[in-house]
Amino acid sequence: METVAPYKDIIEVIKASGGDAFKRCFQCGLCDVVCPWNRVRNFSMRKLVREATFGLTDIESEEIWRCTTCGRCPQQCPRDVRQIDSGVALRRIATEYGVFPQSVKPIRTISGSLVGEGNPLSEDRAKRGDWAKDLPVNTFTEGMEILYFPGCYLSYDPRLKKVSRATAAILNKAGVDFGILGSQESCCGESIRKTGDEDVFKRLAKENIKAFVDNGVKKILVSSPHCYHTFKNEYPEFMVHFEVVHITQYLLELLREGRLELKGEYPRAVTWHDPCYLGRHNGIYDEPREVLRQVPGLELREMPDSRSDSLCCGGGGGRIWMETLKGERFCDLRVDQAAQMGAEVLATACPYCITNFEDSRLTMGFAEKIEVKDITEIIQEMI
């Protein structure tokens, strides 16, 4: 194994980055047993941990960029190695030294777009609210019931704008007093942080916190589990606490309170995919299932690898911005599982999952066989 001569301080940097939990590992290998990478190719978190313990990590290699931060292995680890924090610590070192393998180079462009325009898609900040231009959606003002924060992909991506528009239609139908921040909204910063770019994360978090405070925001509704995770679990690092609710939780609340009524029939077999950052990272498993069970005519089927065993789509940890070779995409396995269950609809509530699954169903020739829907798109058909 090559010793990383220019990076002699690696152990110190890992410690400083909160990654010193590496040394607790006793090499049992349980992490590798559950890691989705080992369904498609060899990858060993156990080996990465071992190398890091001795300061032998090759931070120029692809391996430190593989982890999707899906949360499966920390759940299993008997020694609380906290593989995600430790793995991100390695990426921070690579980012600090500016060493990236070819597949990760686009992240530099993404960082630039995040700093310049507040989104990773090289889109104009000024156009962030355009998805709602022709809809009855107001700018948030203090005293409104809730801020709707669609996030980057639902603001700009043509497929995902259907989801933000469906959400707005549902909120209006339920009489929710909501508003958006449009160009004052910035990327939540969750994924860029997982690539090791702490500076850009902090910058984005501070921009959002300022916008929330300046506008008197107290309660935030999000569509993306990545925004949910960051606002709820990471923004408190900046000594702020906003009430954060994910759309799957809010839909159930609206149904229970009788503010939303479902009409007609949805006579289709539907399977629910638990996004990693909604389920494993935040324990939200029951709410989306309860919402779907309330849809008249809908038949809910469970896939193998569901709830806390959910199979990652491959998009977390910044992997949504990296190229994954055909034959190595977890999303293909997941779409195949859904089809095997006889599901006509693969439902979920995460922009990365939807992007990856839409790509899989087209490249796998399943376009006629199965549809991919955000939960709001199903509910929108029933109101």
Torsion angles phi and psi, residue 225, rounded to 5 = -60, -25
Per-residue mark of binding to ligand SF4, 79-98 (x: CB under 6 A): x-x-xx--------------
Q: Count of residues for the chain?
A: 383
Which member of 19, 20, 51, 72 binds ligand SF4 (CB under 6 A)? 72
Adjacency order of strands within the sheet including 269-272 = 299-301, 269-272, 345-348, 371-374
The overall longest dimension of the chain from CA atoms, in Å, is 67
In whole angstroms, give the CA distance from residue 329 to residue 340.
17
Which member of 35, 303, 320, 353 binds ligand SF4 (CB under 6 A)? 35
CB 170 within 8 A of CB 252: no
Beta-bridged to residue 139, according to DSSP, are 180
- Which span (22-30, 117-125, 186-194, 281-289) binds ligand SF4, by CB under 6 A? 22-30
In whole angstroms, give the CA distance from residue 238 to residue 37.
34
For the CB of residue 51, give the shortest distance to ligand SF4 in the complex, in Å: 12
Decide: is 25 part of the binding site for ligand SF4 (CB under 6 A): yes
Q: Cβ closer to ligand SF4: 84 or 244?
A: 84
- Which span (24-32, 193-201, 262-270, 321-329) binds ligand SF4, by CB under 6 A? 24-32
In whole angstroms, give the CA distance from residue 271 to residue 160.
19
For the CB of residue 44, give the shortest distance to ligand SF4 in the complex, in Å: 9
Decide: is 68 part of the binding site for ligand SF4 (CB under 6 A): yes
- Which span (69-77, 204-212, 236-244, 256-264) binds ligand SF4, by CB under 6 A? 69-77
In whole angstroms, give the CA distance from residue 72 to residue 244.
24
Decide: is 14 part of the binding site for ligand SF4 (CB under 6 A): no
Decide: is 227 part of the binding site for ligand SF4 (CB under 6 A): no
Q: Cβ closer to ligand SF4: 64 or 176?
A: 64
- Of 264, 266, 284, 265, nearest to 274 by C-alpha is 284
- Which span (65-73, 100-108, 294-302, 349-357) binds ligand SF4, by CB under 6 A? 65-73
- Of 216, 153, 156, 157, nearest to 188 by C-alpha is 153
- Per DSSP bridges, beta strands 299-301 and 178-180 are unpaired
Torsion angles phi and psi, residue 263, rounded to 5 = -125, 155
For the CB of residue 37, give the shortest distance to ligand SF4 in the complex, in Å: 6
CB 355 within 8 A of CB 329: no
For the CB of residue 30, give the shortest distance to ligand SF4 in the complex, in Å: 4
Residues 218-251 as b or e (16 or more Cβ within 10 Å = b): eebbbbbbbbbbbbbeebeeeeeebebbbbbbbb
Which member of 1, 5, 26, 365 binds ligand SF4 (CB under 6 A)? 26
Which member of 8, 9, 18, 27 binds ligand SF4 (CB under 6 A)? 27
CA Rg, the chain, in Å? 21
# residues near ligand SF4 by CB under 6 A: 28
In whole angstroms, give the CA distance from residue 207 to residue 212.
9
Q: Which of residues 42-61 bind ligand SF4 (CB under 6 A)?
A: 45-46, 49
For the CB of residue 341, give the shortest distance to ligand SF4 in the complex, in Å: 23
Q: Which of residues 139-178 bind ligand SF4 (CB under 6 A)?
A: none
Cα 261 from chain centroid (whole Å): 29
Q: Cβ closer to ligand SF4: 118 or 279?
A: 279
Torsion angles phi and psi, residue 244, rounded to 5 = -120, 135
Q: Cβ closer to ligand SF4: 72 or 162?
A: 72
- Which span (75-83, 91-99, 261-269, 358-366) binds ligand SF4, by CB under 6 A? 75-83
Q: Cβ closer to ligand SF4: 223 or 337?
A: 337
Decide: is 77 part of the binding site for ligand SF4 (CB under 6 A): yes
Decide: is 187 part of the binding site for ligand SF4 (CB under 6 A): no
Decide: is 31 part of the binding site for ligand SF4 (CB under 6 A): yes
Interface residue list for ligand SF4 (CB under 6 A): 25-31, 34-37, 45-46, 49, 67-73, 76-79, 81, 83-84
